Every structure is written in structure tokens, then in C-alpha cells.
Structure 1
């Protein structure tokens, strides 16, 4: 994650150092380098399978927040309509709340939130606010059960890739006519995830459905070409 952050900082510095004539405020392609806060919910909506000693009614969880570098690439079909996709990886862990507060449920859940949004840009004088919406799918990698889950017999964790929807709003603030600017962005995802905890013998000991619905808020710089 540190290497990704350094790479994003270097990319941002390179972008801002680009001569103004290399960028075009009316160009078709816009590239953003952003610092992004990923703020998921993570609470359990339903317990589907429970062969552990933990009572289903006591199971309640939350996922931690994270800050990651993000790259966004946008294509303007018209001056007001664009399509945007983002690239980032975010890592989270899940802990217990309520009756199982502090329980270590899941560790090192690496998520790729693949997202494509259709955006409409307003011209508000010196700034350009926008709204957008589109499909999203979360891809999960390298999931590991936490210490508490392992103590209950779970040796393997698998999370299902799921489709969802993202709503988006933000503003681009041009820095003169250079094609460079500052961007602020907020997305709200509506996304659920199903987890499967397996024993060493391959038996599914616990399966839960989680409400993720993260807020994803970003700020950074952009260049349009």
C-alpha cells in the first residue's frame, strides 16, 4: 500500500508539472489522481449457515475504514456527458460489535471495486459540478478468517463477488484554461457481500450476508487531454 501511495504522489506531481499546452480544457480524456477514503458499513443482514457455538442472534460486525490512492479515467462523449471508471485496491478487516465486540472475524480482505459511471456535468461558471450513476462489482482477494473465527474452527474464508450500484456527485474546479484542475468526488455504493467460512475438512461452518454500502470520498487533481 505504501508503494501505491508513493506512485500516486509521483503521478500527481508529474501531472501538475506538465506544461499547460500539453493539456486541453475541452479534451475528450480526463485523468484524475485522488486520495480516497473508503467507509464501509459491514453489518450482518442475515446468518445463512451457522454450525459454530456462537448464537446467531449475537453475531454483529463492522468493517474498518481505509484511505487509498485512486486513479480515475474519464471519456467525454459530449461537453456535458462522460463515462468514468476507477482503479484502486482497498484492504479491510471485519470485527465484532455488540455482544461479540472486539471479535476478530476476518482479516486482510482485499477488494477491487470495479465501477463504471455515466456522468452529467453542469456548467456553473468557474466550477463544474456533476452527478452520475452506474454498475459496480466488488472482487475479493486473499480473504483470511480472523483469530476468533479460526478459534471456532474456520480455516478458510471465501467471499462472493457481487454486483451493485453506485451513485456519484462531485465537482471539478479548473485551474484557469490549462486543462488542469482540482476534483472532489463522493460515491455511495449499494452493495452486499456473502461470506463463507469453511473448516479444515471443507465443511461450511458459517455463512453470513453483509451490508457493505460504503461511502467512497475522494479529493485530488486532474488533467484533461
Structure 2
């Protein structure tokens, strides 16, 4: 479903690009800011259980919920075709059991800042600017809490490890006028894992490795200046 959403979003951008007017302004040496509505669609799958003193059910599996947030992207164009971009946003997620512990809340309100920098190459299609990009991402978690289903097991604390990973990116800027305003659609796929730890007092009760690998799908308005 998440991959289908990404394909549909990019297809919509391609259709919009066909009728877009030419971009009047040169981009080299300019800054472009984008205000997006963004869907963050993580996986959250357990890839290994390293510690388990409470006896999790066999084949226990999890998933993280999707979230929709505003995001701000800012990029600088070194040349007409090459830019570097960073984003600013915060997203919040729960992690619930699927198999083994269906519906059980295991992680509550984990907040995430996906610090990301991508190098982007922009193609010129007569004014319309599709692009691809890639770069490092650092996932910073904070205020994460043990889920309600873990409290009866004696869990008193929880944390998720901050991790470095990779982001791949593709999108298109579709000019709206000759004043530097564009409609922009962007899709990022992150490749990053995290270690989740549940504690009972000072004792490590459960430690699991999780594949996050979220899709981050955005649409909004860009302004070049």
C-alpha cells in the first residue's frame, strides 16, 4: 500500500508537469524554500530479538503507525542543475503488535527528528524540473515511552537508539508563475534501523532490532529567491 501511494504521487506530478509553464528565473546561486504537507509511513518490523526475559509469544511482530505533519525544506542551488537540501520536521509514532501480540501498544508517542541532507540533480524539461537525490540521514528519537501493554510486564522505561542511515529522493518542481513560485511533489525512501530497549528498573527486559525504512511523501508550494 505504501509503495502504491508513492507511485501514484509521482505519477500525479508527471501528469502535472506536462502542461507547466517555463521557469523564467535562473537557479544558480538561489535558495528555494518549500512548505509541504507530508506523510511519514514507517515500517517498524522486528528483524531480531536480542534480549527477552519476559517470554514474548512466538513470531511476535510489530508495526509503526503512519503520521502526517507539516515540513519545511530549504535548498541552495550551486548550479542550474545541482543543489543541496535539508529538511525540518518532527513526527510522532506508536509501535503496536501485529502477530503474537495483536493490537498491543508496545511504544507510545516516540518523537522523531529525521535530520536529512541530500544532494540533488535537477533535469531540465523545458522549465519543469524533475530531480533525484541522495544523502545521509540521522534519526534522533526523544520522549519515547513504553506502551500501555508493557506496563503490566513490569516495564518502567524505554528508549530507541539514534541511528545514521541513507535517504534516496525523487520529485518534481512545477512552475506556477514567473515569480519563483512552484508546486512541488517529493518522495523520499529512508534506509535505517533502530534498537528498541525496554527496562524493568535497571534490568534490560527486552531488546529488539527494528527495520524502519519509511517512505516520506510530500506535496506543497515552493518559493525560489
TM over 0.5: yes
Distance (Å, rounded) in 2 between the aligned partners of 1:25 and 1:147: 54
Aligned position for 2:117: 116
Aligned position for 1:204: 204
Aligned position for 2:136: 135
Aligned position for 2:180: 179
Aligned: 1:86 with 2:87: yes
Give me the TM-score of the superposition, normalised by structure 1.
Answer: 0.87
Aligned position for 2:223: 223
**Residue pair 1:53, 1:152 contacting (<8 A) in 2 also:** no
Aligned position for 1:52: 54
**Residue pair 2:26, 2:80 contacting (<8 A) in 1 also:** no
Matched position secondary structure for 1:41: coil
Aligned position for 1:213: 213
Distance (Å, rounded) in 1 between the aligned partners of 2:55 and 2:49: 13
Matched position secondary structure for 1:99: coil
Aligned position for 2:42: 40
C-alpha deviation, 1:24, in angstroms: 5.3
Q: CA offsets per residue over residues 65-101 of structure 1, 9 Å max, x none?
A: 0000000000001010000000000000000001211
Distance change in 2, residues 1:82/1:89 (3 Å): same
- Which range moves more in the overlay, 23-32 or 57-66? 23-32
C-alpha deviation, 1:53, in angstroms: 2.8
C-alpha deviation, 1:177, in angstroms: 1.5
Distance (Å, rounded) in 2 between the aligned partners of 1:95 and 1:25: 48
Distance (Å, rounded) in 1 between the aligned partners of 2:166 and 2:30: 25
Matched position secondary structure for 2:100: helix
Aligned: 1:100 with 2:105: no
**Residue pair 2:87, 2:117 contacting (<8 A) in 1 also:** yes
Distance (Å, rounded) in 2 between the aligned partners of 1:195 and 1:38: 19
Superposed structure 1 runs of 4+ greater than 6 Å apart: none
- Say how many residue pairs are matched: 201
C-alpha deviation, 1:175, in angstroms: 1.5
